[in-house]
Amino acid sequence: QVQLVESGGGLVTAGGSLRLSCAASGRTFSNLGMGWFRQAPGKERQFVAACNWSGGNIYYADSVKGRFTISRDNAKNSVYLQMNGLKPEDTAVYYCAATRRFVSTTTSDYAYWGQGTQVTVSL
């Protein structure tokens, strides 16, 4: 169906920046929504950002608004997450996800997930 591969995670100090990438392959749909989620050990998976691939609907979690930017390159079937002003509480495994539904902030709406990339922010 849809395969997703994330890259770009790493270890940074507080205030630093990272750019995550997600490459999609397989069948896509005109209404495919793309999202970024994160999960810390022992915690539930948390919404970070989402956008639709054909429109201008973009959503951010309050905790990252103004610091993170989601973008896409439809020609490359890719979605990106630019993370600036990173904080220790941003530490988590970050997952790229795709949904055949309209763009959503809800984890259960996404049927396809990447393997995740670790982001660690130290003081």
pLDDT of residue 55: 62
pLDDT of res. 29: 57
The pLDDT assigned to 84 comes to 98
pLDDT of amino acid 63: 97
Show pLDDT as tens, one digit a residue, over the chain (123 residues).
Answer: 789 999 999 999 999 999 999 999 876 655 679 999 999 999 999 999 999 877 689 999 999 999 999 998 888 889 999 999 999 999 999 999 999 888 899 999 999 999 999 999 999
The answer to whether the beta carbons of residues 97 and 115 sit under 8 Å apart is no
Query: Which of the 8 DSSP states describes residue 13?
Result: E
pLDDT of residue 53: 77
Residue 108 pLDDT: 95
Residues facing residue 59 across a β-bridge: 50
Q: pLDDT value at position 46?
A: 97
Please give the structure tokens belonging to residue 9: 């995670």
Please tell me the predicted confidence (pLDDT) of residue 73: 87
Q: Which residues contact 105 (CB under 8 A, 6 or more apart)?
A: 35, 47, 50, 59, 61
